[in-house]
Structure 1
Amino acid sequence: MNTKILEQLEFDKVIDLLTPYLQTMQGKAELAQLRPMTDYRRIMSSLAEVDDMSQIFIQSHGFSLGELQDISESLRRLELSADLNVAELQALKRVLLVSSETKRFYDDLENVTVASLQPLFEKIDIFPQLQGALQAISDGGFVEDFASPELTRIRRKIAESEREIRETLQDIVKKRGDMLSEQLIVSRSGRSVLPVKNTYRNRISGIVHDISASGSTVYIEPRAVVSLNELITQLRADERYEVARILHELSDLLRPQTNSIRNNAWILGHLDFVRAKYLFMRDYSAVIPKLSENKTIQLLNVRHPLLAHPVSNSLYFGEELTSIVITGPNTGGKTIMLKTLGLAQLMAQSGLPILADKGSKVAIFTEIFADIGDEQSIEQSLSTFSSHMTQIVSILENANEDSLVLFDELGAGTDPQEGASLAMAILEHLRLSGIKNMVTTHYPELKAYGIETAFVENASMEFDTTTLSPTYRFMQGVPGRSNAFEIARRLGLPEIIVADAESQTDKESDVNRIIERLEEQTLESRKRLERIREVEKENLKFNRAVKKLYNEFSHARDKELEKVYQEAQAIVDEAKEKSDEILKTLTAKSQLKPHEVIDAKKELDSLVKEPDLSKNKVLRKAKKAKAQRAPRVGDDIIVTSYGQHGTLINQLKDGRFEAQVGLIKMTLKPDEFTLVRAQKETPKPKRAKQVKVVKKVSQTGPRARLDLRGMRYEEAMQELDRFIDQALLNNMAQVDIIHGIGTGVIREGVTKYLRRNKHVKSFGYAPQNAGGSGATIVTLG
């Protein structure tokens, strides 16, 4: 399609409306290249993708991809055998992560039909091993210590040397503080030095690195730390070499997959683009139009997208109708109607929703031509009429039956009689050629042409004679009329003058009276239609209100049931505490063995029945959320014992997982890692969809670790009690309890329980690298 029409109708400004909704650089690049299409299937596919996205948002209101950088240059460098830097690897890591999350999101979708987007989701490749390897690159933009054993060793040695230097210098500061201008350690040229008073410079042997501007202070590196600083310099060089080696190895791992990663990036960008089109449709109350195959156009309450407060109008361009001639005075919105029709077509053929009501239909044109506005050419010394005629000649040479032509003020700029005749001749040529067109004019002769000629229809813009202002309402089938006499009367022109003028134009006055009656009928029909729409809206609001009340009532009922259950559970807990005290007393006073006491406790526990969750949505939802935390291949994890990030790459038959942690591969049990995704679940928007759960393999042997995270308080306390009993029966000396930090309720409950259990010898929080205050280590005895 010609680019001139895009400029005339300001299509680029429509494109700008979608930019704020985009998150990825690939999506922004695709939007910048957006142009109207002429292939029916491509347009249908583009519009169907937006409809699929609307179905996704019904299930998941917060569907989002997040910000993604352009990785095309990085992939090209990989293909040229170059190594990537940390920033480039960060961007690739983000693409792999979002690819994995998007694939998982699609796999978890249920009861949603996304036929057009399905091939895109299914073509996303995931690379758990690469994703795990790139965990060596932190989100902060540096290479992690665990990226390789050698890097771990080097950085540990650097830390030890720095600590030794610091301790040595602090010892000198403490012993010879009177020789220093300030009792602190400073840095010069990357070395740790002491600010020594110039008078004592010979009392502290070492290397002078700097002198203050006044000359009173000398910055000396004591000889005791020179060798250590030299060692650190060497270690820093070794560190840089090792980091470069790691970046090279990571680049080599990525190199074979450049095409797949490039394809992933494109798919994610396209999904972001489709998401932006949906959000535009939602915020601008736009719709996905239907496509006609016979050049029929039906726009219901269509609006111009670039106007702040547009007036909605309906337009019907039937299959056989060739021309719509909008007549009447200027300043009534005729040009806006032309542009609105043209923009609706451009947007729809670009796969964008249009600002109209449901049921709207557009045609497909190979070209759209327009002659709008005053394009007088000073350079070519052309008058307004000549400039317009030059445009018209070019349009008539290139237009065919698959084109749409828009003419603004056809025949203007010359003698009225000649201009009207020329306009009718041009319209007749378009009619006989079967070229659809919409024309605006103020020539009264074209009204008769519209009435008398087949396949041509008159139209006009409504004018309020009471306020003497245009309403910008489009009236199809009603020709425009002159309001000069009525306006003159209202402005105070003597009646004798107005009457004399009317007597000289009796024929025109008769036509105007007919038009006036047509306007009244059209206005009455519009009012009736608006009343019908208001009734429909009221019915829709009432239906929504009833549904909302029902949902609120159902939710309130479930809340009350949960409250009653919690109250009952509190009573049961109190009874259990008393029973524990009784059992302890019996144990102290009798010769009952521990296993007999535990059996008795089990009998007491069996009296407590779990509530039926099948009819309680609140509790069922909580239980479901817990089930959704099961790990699966592709999940990012934190190895509990080391605090290192990795990615699950394979699940073994015995229930264990293989994980890629930087450049190292590990085999882990489910209780030896935590899901990164689980830590981020709280702020995620609600998703009304079913999630497939990967069940853990049951373990027959005794457990040395208990994970209480995600449980309700009552459930956690019961599980803790059973766990400690089981540990005692299996003569276990030490166990770990993971309770997390969270609100602290479960952690406090665990502490209270352990304090009152006489079989607990001691307990305390785990080391920082093994969970810190989120886990408790218990010694039994």
Structure 2
Amino acid sequence: MDERALDALEFEFVRGEIAKCAQTSVGRARASGMAPFAERADAEDELARLDEAVRMLYRVGAPPFAGIESLEDAVKRAQRGGTLSADEANRLARCIAGMRAMRQFVERAQEAGDFPRLAGTVAPMADLRRTEQEIRQVVDEEGQVIDHASPALLRLRDEKRRREGEIRAALDRLLRTQAKYLQEPVIAMRGEHYCLPVRVEHKGQVPGIVRDVSSSGSTVFIEPRAIVELSERVREIEVMEEREVERLLYQLAAAVAQVADDFLQNLGVAAEMDFVFAKAAYARRIDGKRPQLTDGVWRLHGARHPKLDRDAVPIDVELGDPFRLLIITGPNTGGKTVTLKTIGLLTLMAMSGLFLPTKRESDIGFCRHVFVDIGDEQSIEQNLSTFSSHMRRIIHMLARVTPDSLVLLDELGAGTDPAEGSALAVAILDELTSAGARVVATTHYAELKGYAFRNPAAENASMEFDVETLRPTYRLLMGVPGRSNALAIAERLGMPKKILERARSHVAESDIHVEELIGKLEAASREAERLRDEAERALREARDQAADLARQKAAWEHAKESLRTEALREARDVVERARREADDVIREIRSLRDRTGVKDHELVELRKRLEAAEPGEKRAAPTRRAQAEVRPGQRVRVLSLGQKGDVVEVAQDGKAAVVQLGAMRMKVDARDLEVVGEVQPTAAPSVARFRGTKDVRMELDVRGETVDDAISRIDKYLDDAVVAGISRVVIIHGKGTGALRNAVRRYLRQHPHVKSSEAAGPGEGGDGATVVHVRT
């Protein structure tokens, strides 16, 4: 990968952000050295592993990395035959324990979830618990060699403590007996010697060795002769103790040297895991989405540059299918360079196995090379020097470009004569597209807009500019070339009309038509985007409703099966009790059959009839009972609909009847009717009456009401419908903005009186009404 491309696209910024998320020095080192993968398969494997890390991060958190640090120098020194300090041995033990805890965390998470790649990453780690135990037998967690590290060390330290106790006792005794000769009753240390501060005029009264004199000369520090021999013995013990400690640490270094390769391997795995979870933490911070790597096709949806916050205007970009060249035009400071850098940096991130700051999953073309020419035109250098540097970079690209390359060119052809610059830009673009590379170029040249129209492998795009506010919107419009807007901006700023008219007279008529056409394309693009957003919202709502209906249906099926099973069990219990009672009765009748005259075959027939009443898993549908004669004016129930209505008319042969069901009148087979009562003389066709209750209409109109008022009326209306025995009603809410409709339907889905609901048919109001099936 071209290092200049990494620098120009600010890849170092992403490295630094991921390094901030790492928890160990070895993980930060891996992040600082991150680079795009050379092979697509490696990048896809890393994306899959990062996907597992993100899921683990959300489910159970990140593995622990406490104690893990870079100790390669100490281990390699031990491998070469050197020794370790007590502090280094302690840090090695902590590092081994930390790596083991990390591995165990991942293995437990794998048992509870699906993280095969992460589990595979830690699988090669060696178990170094024995080495850790060997270290802890010598060095404690404070980095000190413990007394029981060896019998010799314990003996030396016990003797040292005993000798030091004797010295303190002798000094305490001298402080009491020689107090009158002392400057003050304290013990002073001079180097390794315990001394008494004696007044200079009494130095002959305290036998011992003068070790120091105060700066004023009034005090001499004398090591009493009584403790000289004891102090010398303590120093001898300390030398032997130091040698024993060195021996023990050298033994530890030898033990570490035996597992040096395993330790370094484990340390490499720990660095890799910390690096992966640092990338996962960064992905969560930027709300990153997993990209899909493709063969030379880019489809970015709502992409943002990682340096920009989430309020930045996202861009949608396509490249590679069907066009390989994208020419972006637009005003200065409109976002062309940022768009160019966003495409390039997100490509490098995807090739490095990173999630991208996009609105949804996007496609990134995997490429072997990324060539970038992004310069600062506001340079203090002369134009010739700027143009020359651009040309040198482009010449370098042309010599190395391949079909699997991405080329990003900022202000192509700038810095020289416009006519020559645009001609040179066209020739360069021809050469790059003929080589098969994917190219994104920004420009101010109007000639390149026409070039994109003529070239089937090219496409125009522009950064939107609001002429009303004279500000860029930073939105990228695909398929629309940018307008110059110079005359419009001058007019908005107050340029005199006669000057503007004179300027327009110098503009070719064809250019004016092109500007008008571009304006219409921009308006059409904005309208299409608005309609697309509305369609996406409608699709999401429809999917949510479908999922909700599926859940309700599943719950209903489960409840129905539970009720059926319970009813079947209760019926069997009833029949079983009846059978036992019948058997008792039959036995009694048989004992008396001589007197009663009951025959055996009659008893058998009774038993068969009883067994036939027993419920089973599958029962034949019961035959419809004979219906009473239907006549006009009767209140009936349509069995197939579960709806009550009034008989308006009966056919001459009596086989069919016309029934008024609310606002609907329909012809029904007489066998599908059940007489439930007589219609009251004053009842209206669209109103149902039931056992003297108040009138309940078959529909309720809440159009124009607020959500709270409508919900209150619907709740009372459903209560009245249940009391009246109405099983099907219609709620009319209108279409409007959809707010009232959505609120009503959400409320109906959770209402206890509602079995189900759906949008009304074309004859009942369509999407402006909702049909409700009531539990009666």
Give me the TM-score of the superposition, normalised by structure 2: 0.66
Output one character per residue of 1:510-557: Cα deviation in whole Å (capped at 9) or x when no partner: 212221122122223444555677899999999xxxxxxxxxxxxxxx
Q: Which residue of 1 aligns with 2:132?
A: 131
Contact 2:64 2:105 in 1 (8 A): no
Output one character per residue of 1:570-621: Cα deviation in whole Å (capped at 9) or x when no partner: xxxxxxxxxxxxxxxxxxxxxxxxxxxxxxxxxxxxxxxxxxxxxxxxxxxx
Mapping of 1:285-324 within 5 angstroms?
Answer: 285-292=287-294, 294-307=295-308, 310-324=312-326
Q: Which residue of 2 aligns with 1:36?
A: 36
Displacement after TM superposition at 1:454 (Å) = 0.8
Task: From 228, 231, 236, give the equivalent of 2:230.
Answer: 228
Distance (whole Å) between structure 2 residues aligned to residue 101 and residue 184 of structure 1: 51
Contact 1:376 1:387 in 2 (8 A): no
Mapping of 1:230-245 within 5 angstroms?
Answer: 230-245=232-247
Displacement after TM superposition at 1:182 (Å) = 1.5
SS in 1 for 2:475: strand
Cα distance, 1:382–1:501 mapped onto 2, change above 3 Å:
closer
Cα distance, 1:380–1:268 mapped onto 2, change above 3 Å:
same
Task: From 517, 521, 535, give the equivalent of 1:518.
Answer: 521
Q: State the structure with bigger RCO (CA 8 A, min sep 6), 1 or 2.
A: 1
Displacement after TM superposition at 1:64 (Å) = 3.0
Mapping of 1:514-553 within 5 angstroms?
Answer: 514-528=517-531
Distance (whole Å) between structure 2 residues aligned to residue 252 and residue 397 of structure 1: 56
Contact 1:410 1:423 in 2 (8 A): yes
Amino acid across the alignment from 2:406: L
Displacement after TM superposition at 1:111 (Å) = 2.2
Q: Which residue of 2 aligns with 1:4?
A: 4
Q: Which residue of 2 aligns with 1:371?
A: 373
Displacement after TM superposition at 1:282 (Å) = 1.2
Q: Which residue of 2 aligns with 1:265?
A: 267
SS in 1 for 2:195: strand
Amino acid across the alignment from 2:103: K
Cα distance, 1:386–1:226 mapped onto 2, change above 3 Å:
closer
Amino acid across the alignment from 2:423: S
Q: Which residue of 2 aligns with 1:433?
A: 435
Contact 1:376 1:382 in 2 (8 A): no
Cα distance, 1:375–1:82 mapped onto 2, change above 3 Å:
farther
Output one character per residue of 1:16-59: Cα deviation in whole Å (capped at 9) or x when no partner: 12222223232233223222222011111222221121122123
Output one character per residue of 1:277-301: Cα deviation in whole Å (capped at 9) or x when no partner: 1111111222221111x21111111
Q: Which residue of 1 aligns with 2:118?
A: 117
Q: Which residue of 2 aligns with 1:641?
A: none
Cα distance, 1:386–1:61 mapped onto 2, change above 3 Å:
same
SS in 2 for 1:291: strand
Cα distance, 1:462–1:183 mapped onto 2, change above 3 Å:
same
Contact 1:377 1:383 in 2 (8 A): no
Cα distance, 1:381–1:471 mapped onto 2, change above 3 Å:
closer
Mapping of 1:645-664 within 5 angstroms?
Answer: none
Measured on the aligned residues, the alpha-carbon RMSD in Å equals 2.7
Task: From 379, 402, 406, give the equivalent of 1:404.
Answer: 406
SS in 1 for 2:460: strand
Output one character per residue of 1:636-673: Cα deviation in whole Å (capped at 9) or x when no partner: xxxxxxxxxxxxxxxxxxxxxxxxxxxxxxxxxxxxxx
Cα distance, 1:489–1:419 mapped onto 2, change above 3 Å:
same
Distance (whole Å) between structure 1 residues aligned to residue 195 and residue 534 of structure 2: 86
Amino acid across the alignment from 1:83: T
Contact 1:137 1:144 in 2 (8 A): yes
Task: Single out whichever of 82-91 and 431-440 deviates more from structure 2.
Answer: 82-91
Q: Which residue of 2 aligns with 1:350?
A: 352
Contact 1:314 1:474 in 2 (8 A): yes
Q: Which residue of 2 aligns with 1:767?
A: none
Displacement after TM superposition at 1:105 (Å) = 1.6
Distance (whole Å) between structure 1 residues aligned to residue 58 and residue 485 of structure 2: 51
Displacement after TM superposition at 1:378 (Å) = 11
Distance (whole Å) between structure 2 residues aligned to residue 210 and residue 398 of structure 1: 79
Distance (whole Å) between structure 2 residues aligned to residue 181 and residue 532 of structure 1: 97
Distance (whole Å) between structure 2 residues aligned to residue 172 and residue 288 of structure 1: 80
Output one character per residue of 1:712-757: Cα deviation in whole Å (capped at 9) or x when no partner: xxxxxxxxxxxxxxxxxxxxxxxxxxxxxxxxxxxxxxxxxxxxxx
Structure number with greater Rg is 2
Contact 1:26 1:70 in 2 (8 A): yes
Task: Single out whichever of 247-256 and 141-150 deviates more from structure 2.
Answer: 141-150
Cα distance, 1:398–1:117 mapped onto 2, change above 3 Å:
same
Mapping of 1:72-87 within 5 angstroms?
Answer: 72-87=72-87
Distance (whole Å) between structure 2 residues aligned to residue 206 and residue 162 of structure 1: 18
Distance (whole Å) between structure 2 residues aligned to residue 161 and residue 540 of structure 1: 86
Q: Is 1:68 the counterpart of 2:68 in the alignment?
A: yes
Distance (whole Å) between structure 2 residues aligned to residue 163 and residue 349 of structure 1: 69
SS in 2 for 1:305: coil
Contact 1:458 1:478 in 2 (8 A): yes
Aligned length: 541
Output one character per residue of 1:310-362: Cα deviation in whole Å (capped at 9) or x when no partner: 43211112433210111233221111111111111111112222222331111
Q: Which residue of 1 aligns with 2:474?
A: 472
Distance (whole Å) between structure 1 residues aligned to residue 302 and residue 512 of structure 2: 32
Cα distance, 1:104–1:467 mapped onto 2, change above 3 Å:
same
Distance (whole Å) between structure 1 residues aligned to residue 81 and residue 329 of structure 2: 68
Q: Which residue of 2 aligns with 1:103?
A: 103
Displacement after TM superposition at 1:379 (Å) = 11
SS in 1 for 2:56: helix
